[in-house]
């Protein structure tokens, strides 16, 4: 029985393990926290990323290693890759870990990005602001997620506040100043590439963020027919350039009808959670298949799906359980402000059926503001 090794034991590892089981694949997860939520569904090795004695034992027990967490140190990934197959490869991971390398690659692949400039000192922040202009966002190049490690500058005079917030991280991680894009909408394309080069995408997903954290997703993104082909082509070029194996997400802004690249996640992604019930093969199952060299599954959809992210606390579950084709996911995590603790996916055969169920769930849970953007699109 093949064993999948997963670095990081959060909800992504948990959902990977749950998808691996029916394929006859066992999972073994590594996390530094003994209460990592994937540990509730798969055996857990408690170790940090430099505990090479524990990692040596782990490597000997698994057939392939993959990631729940993209910020595993590059040295750890390389060290493991000398002992066992690691997918995506450490070199691909390294590109996605650094916003500069990532944006540079996007541009080389023909995907435009927001204007940006790297910032290592307070003086360079002024120079970058002069070039990029305001409004802008200062981000750490490495280790940011869920909008952490970012500061939004409304005007040039916010430079001091931005530096006070992030300047201390410049020496270790580097910073990047990006132009703030007044986008019309945000999309992501979920893609998978197998060890044999087979490449597939799921239909584009439309996403809404609140305070830099994903709040709602809707798929297939309505009115995206013209963008689907372009997004798929860009994802394919990126995947081939990186020799990528597994699932990844490419986050996109749409401005004046054109795609701009925001970032890529070298792993299964929150905006693809709807694929568990809404697609013929979920992102989790296809990731397991890809990294183990199995044939990939059909990425077609069963209808339309909307996902509610539960941030900080779980709402009462009955409303979802009592709604037709609505699906509850509790990650088994401690509730904490800003933390992703679960999600719900609501499916329907068409926009009308989906809208009715989304409305029902939102009303019963008193979540109308969260669901409204989705309902506005479905109502069009
Ligand atoms: P995650 O990895 O969890 O998706 P992150 O911390 O890496 O998040 P980003 O994807 O860079 O963060 O930004 C989070 C959100 O903030 C974006 O999805 C978008 O809504 C907004 N945002 C980020 N950069 C820009 C920008 N240059 N212009 C406009 N909005 C932006
Ligand atoms: Mg990110
Ligand atoms: Mg993002």
pLDDT beyond 80 at 155: yes
In a domain, 67, yes or no: yes
CA of 106 to the centre of ligand 2 (A): 15
Name the 3-class secondary structure at 263: strand
CB 24 within 8 A of CB 287: no
Per-residue pLDDT of 324-347, as tens digits, reads 999 999 999 999 999 999 999 999
318 and 360 in a single domain? The answer is yes
Q: Is the ipTM of this complex over 0.85?
A: yes
108 is in an annotated binding site: no
What does pLDDT average to over the chain? 97
pLDDT at 224: 86
Give the domain-ending residue among 153, 179, 205: 179
pLDDT beyond 90 at 8: yes
119 and 221 in a single domain? The answer is no
pLDDT at 145: 84
CA of 150 to the centre of ligand 1 (A): 9
199 is in an annotated binding site: no
In a domain, 264, yes or no: yes
Taken in order 123, 140, 146, 351, the sign of the CA dihedral is positive
206 and 331 in a single domain? The answer is yes
Give the domain-ending residue among 67, 86, 105: 86
Work out the angle between the directed axes of helices 159-166 and 122-132 (0-180°, nearest 10): 130
Name the 3-class secondary structure at 262: strand
251 and 311 in a single domain? The answer is yes
Tell me which of 186, 209, 309 to substitute to probe ligand 1's pocket, judged by most ligand atoms within 8 Å of the beta carbon: 209
DSSP class of 181 = P
128 and 202 in a single domain? The answer is no
- Does the CB atom of residue 188 touch ligand 1 within 6 A? no
CA of 292 to the centre of ligand 2 (A): 25
210 is in an annotated binding site: no
169 and 194 in a single domain? The answer is no
CATH code of the domain in which 326 resides: 3.30.470.20
170 and 204 in a single domain? The answer is no
In a domain, 254, yes or no: yes
Model pTM above 0.80: yes
Chain mean position to CA 281: 18
CA of 17 to the centre of ligand 2 (A): 23
171 and 198 in a single domain? The answer is no
346 and 204 in a single domain? The answer is yes
171 and 214 in a single domain? The answer is no
In a domain, 107, yes or no: no
Give the domain-ending residue among 41, 66, 86: 86
pLDDT at 380: 66
Neighbour order of strands in the sheet with 116-119: 116-119, 175-179, 136-140, 150-153
133 and 229 in a single domain? The answer is no
In a domain, 346, yes or no: yes
Query: Percentage of the chain with pLDDT > 90?
Result: 95
Q: Tell how strand 304-311 and strand 340-348 pair up.
A: antiparallel
In a domain, 103, yes or no: no
- Does the CB atom of residue 186 touch ligand 1 within 6 A? yes
Report the nearest atom of ligand 1 relative to the CA of 183: 29
Report how far residue 201's alpha carbon sits from residue 222's, in angstroms, rounded to the nearest whole number.
Answer: 16
CATH code of the domain in which 78 resides: 3.40.50.20
CA of 54 to the centre of ligand 2 (A): 28
CATH code of the domain in which 146 resides: 3.30.1490.20
Per-residue pLDDT of 281-293, as tens digits, reads 999 999 999 999 9
238 and 170 in a single domain? The answer is no
In a domain, 68, yes or no: yes
Nearest CA to ligand 1 atom 14: 212
Q: How much is the average pLDDT of 290-318? A: 98
How many domains does the chain divide into?
Answer: 3
pLDDT at 225: 85
Q: Provide the domain limits for residue 45.
A: 3-86
In a domain, 255, yes or no: yes
């Amino acid at each position: 029985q093949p064993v999948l090794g997963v670095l990081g034991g959060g909800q992504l590892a948990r959902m990977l393990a749950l998808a691996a089981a029916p394929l006859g694949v066992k999972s073994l997860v590594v996390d530094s926290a003994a209460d990592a939520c994937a540990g509730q569904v798969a055996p857990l090795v408690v170790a940090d990323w430099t505990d090479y004695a524990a990692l040596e034992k782990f490597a000997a027990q698994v057939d392939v290693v993959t990631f729940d967490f993209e910020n595993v140190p590059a040295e750890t990934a390389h060290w493991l890759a000398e002992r066992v197959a690691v997918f995506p490869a450490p070199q691909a991971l390294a590109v996605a870990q650094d916003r500069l390398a990532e944006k540079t690659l996007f541009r080389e692949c023909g995907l435009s990005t927001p204007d940006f400039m790297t910032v290592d000192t307070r003086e360079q922040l002024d120079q970058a602001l002069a070039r990029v202009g305001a409004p802008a966002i200062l981000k750490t190049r490495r280790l940011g997620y869920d909008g952490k490690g970012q500061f939004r500058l409304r005007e040039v005079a916010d430079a001091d506040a931005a530096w006070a917030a992030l300047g201390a991280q410049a020496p270790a991680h580097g910073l990047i100043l990006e132009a703030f894009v007044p986008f019309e909408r945000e999309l992501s394309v979920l893609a998978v590439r197998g060890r044999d080069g087979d490449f597939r995408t799921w239909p584009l997903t439309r996403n809404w963020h609140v305070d830099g954290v994903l709040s709602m997703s809707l798929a297939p993104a309505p009115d995206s027919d013209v963008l689907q082909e372009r997004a798929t082509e860009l994802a394919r070029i990126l995947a081939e350039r990186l020799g990528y194996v597994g699932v990844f997400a490419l986050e996109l802004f749409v401005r004046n009808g054109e795609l701009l690249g925001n970032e890529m996640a070298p792993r299964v992604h929150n905006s693809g959670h709807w694929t568990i019930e809404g697609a013929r093969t979920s992102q989790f199952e296809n990731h397991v298949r890809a990294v183990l060299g199995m044939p990939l599954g059909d990425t077609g959809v069963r209808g339309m799906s909307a996902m509610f992210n539960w941030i900080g606390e779980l709402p009462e579950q009955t409303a979802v359980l009592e709604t037709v084709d609505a699906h509850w996911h509790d990650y088994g995590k401690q509730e904490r402000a800003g933390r992703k603790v679960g999600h719900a996916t609501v499916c329907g055969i068409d926009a009308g059926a989906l809208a009715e169920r989304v409305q029902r769930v939102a009303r019963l849970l008193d979540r109308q503001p969260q669901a409204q953007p989705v309902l506005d699109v479905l109502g069009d």
